[in-house]
Structure 1
Amino acid sequence: MRARFETVPTVNAEPMSHDSGGDSPAAGPVTAATERLIATAATLDDAGLAAPSLCPGWTRAHVLTHVARNADALSNLLGWARTGRENPMYPSVEARNADIEDGATRPAAEIVDDLHVSADRFVRAVMEMPDDGWERQVRRGPAATGEPLPGRRVLWLRLRELEVHHADLRTGYGPADWPDAFVRRALDETVRAFGRREDVPAVTLEIDGAGVEHLGAEAPVTVGGSPSDVLSWLIGRSSGAGLRVQPAGALPALPSWL
């Protein structure tokens, strides 16, 4: 069954949306992103899934298996938020990696079916969430060792996973295809996160139609371009070809995104 939300979850009786000031996207973008990704996956045969992705060392089969396991992992967090009982994303890093490696060896039809089934499980977890569960704190990461976050943020984490990894498949869907609302939020989130890190070089970002952002003080380099081009460069999904650099020269070397 194709994953689809029948209603929009609420927080404090208000629909969650990108523009409502809440911390989660509406359910609609997650549904649409899921359907786009599954439609792409369904066009790939075994040979197509064996081709390399943009993720170093991973084939397309690895990426799609990871996306399915991420749906299960985030369903665990939603269950935790719903019940208050700790339910980590993964038992360990080793278990997470083993599941991906094992799953990537499956035939294409089985991988696509797994995407459907895991997406349906995520839908059920969302639909079962009571309003107060969206505010309950859970923890990301293997064995719940990551930072705390409210249950409402899980929908955003899922949307980000779907959009970025769809582009990682190298099948024609790329940063230019990301929805504008997703790009705005992901870019804002990435700029703020990079601004708190000491390993990010000082750079001024001139984002077309969105103003200027500063990473660090007294940046010697200015990088400009469309929001999706700047975002894809910041998160390591492009080389930055086509971005403007002043003074002319090479783009600054960036650390890993997450």
Structure 2
Amino acid sequence: MIDHMRDLACVTEATELLLGAAAALDPAGLAAPSRLPGWSRGHVLAHLARNADALVNVLEGRPMYVDAATRDADIERDAPRPLGVQLADVRNTAARFLHSASVPADWNRTVELRNGVTDAAARIPFRRLIEVELHHVDLGLGRDLEDLSEEFVAREIDFLAQRFSGTPSVPPLTLKASDGRTWRTGAAEGDPLPVTGPAADLMGWLAGRRDGASLEFSGGPLPVLPPL
């Protein structure tokens, strides 16, 4: 069972950790490339703020974004802002998200995100936690996937394995972490091939943060996963 209130507490903690790390940036560091191709650190912070607004929209029954072009334009518009403005925006939008997610509601209801994706309302706080944790790593400020909690890594692998489950373009796979945990994903038909390695590397590959070079796979090159 999803404990959305516990996830909200984790979001608050992770947001403060990210803001503390980003506060040490100077103007050159803010404008420097992040670990995401084509995005500066300013882009990452702008996206985090706009994503919080978007998830408030989801929780309150509005479209997540007006459209993809507006989403991208808003990030480009906000990316060059000074650090103080960026940090205040991330903090203020995080507070609005926390407020919206703390209002008594039917947490079993289905909500709609972008591109027709739907989910239980109770999972929205964890979706926000994913954004904060992974984009903290994307900032390239010394935090890496191995620094994320074991619980978070396992839940994120489970989340992404479910997302790719039944996808015909992904062959049937069994994801095997070095500590023995396993997940099933990919096409429903066929004998699954094992992909084995450290949990952080499995998560990084599924989330598009690592190329999977450290993973063991007997089926030739690792399959190309659909974009998230």
Give TM-score scaled by structure 2 length: 0.88
Q: 1:52 to 1:125 in 2, by over 3 A?
A: same
After superposition, residues 118-137 of structure 1 pair within 5 angstroms as 118-127=93-102, 129-130=103-104, 132-137=105-110
Which residue of 99, 124, 138 corresponds with 2:111?
Answer: 138
Would you say the 8 A contact 1:229–1:243 is kept in 2?
yes
Which residue of 86, 93, 101 corresponds with 1:111?
Answer: 86
Which residue of 210, 215, 222 corresponds with 2:180?
Answer: 210
Cα deviations across residues 147-187 of structure 1 (Å, max 9, x unaligned)?
33332221111111111111111221111011111111111
Taking the aligned partners of 2:126 and 2:82, their CA distance within structure 1 comes to: 30
SS at match of 2:164: helix
Aligned match of 2:2? 22
Cα deviations across residues 106-148 of structure 1 (Å, max 9, x unaligned)?
1122111111111111122123x11x3323332112xxx5233
Would you say the 8 A contact 1:30–1:158 is kept in 2?
yes
5+ residue gaps in structure 1?
1-20, 81-85
Would you say the 8 A contact 2:48–2:132 is kept in 1?
yes
Aligned match of 1:18? none
> Does the alignment pair 1:49 with 2:19?
no
Would you say the 8 A contact 1:183–1:231 is kept in 2?
yes
Taking the aligned partners of 1:25 and 1:227, their CA distance within structure 2 comes to: 26
Q: 1:100 to 1:138 in 2, by over 3 A?
A: same
Aligned match of 2:137? 167
* Aligned residue identity for 2:96: R
Identity across matched positions, percent: 38
Would you say the 8 A contact 2:23–2:87 is kept in 1?
yes
SS at match of 2:176: strand
Aligned match of 1:77? 58
> Does the alignment pair 1:240 with 2:212?
yes
5+ residue gaps in structure 2?
none
Cα deviations across residues 29-56 of structure 1 (Å, max 9, x unaligned)?
1111111111121121221121212222
Post-superposition offset of 1:218: 3.0
Give TM-score scaled by structure 1 length: 0.78
After superposition, residues 194-233 of structure 1 pair within 5 angstroms as 194-215=164-185, 216=187, 217-219=190-192, 222-233=194-205
Cα deviations across residues 171-224 of structure 1 (Å, max 9, x unaligned)?
2111101111111111112122223111213444221223344445334x5432
Higher helix share: 2
CA RMSD of aligned residues (A): 2.1
Would you say the 8 A contact 1:23–1:156 is kept in 2?
no
State the 4+ residue runs in structure 1 displaced beyond 3 angstroms. 201-204, 210-216, 244-247
Post-superposition offset of 1:246: 4.2
In terms of mean alpha carbon deviation, does 155-164 or 236-245 score higher? 236-245
> Does the alignment pair 1:95 with 2:76?
no
Taking the aligned partners of 1:195 and 1:23, their CA distance within structure 2 comes to: 23
Q: 1:205 to 1:152 in 2, by over 3 A?
A: closer
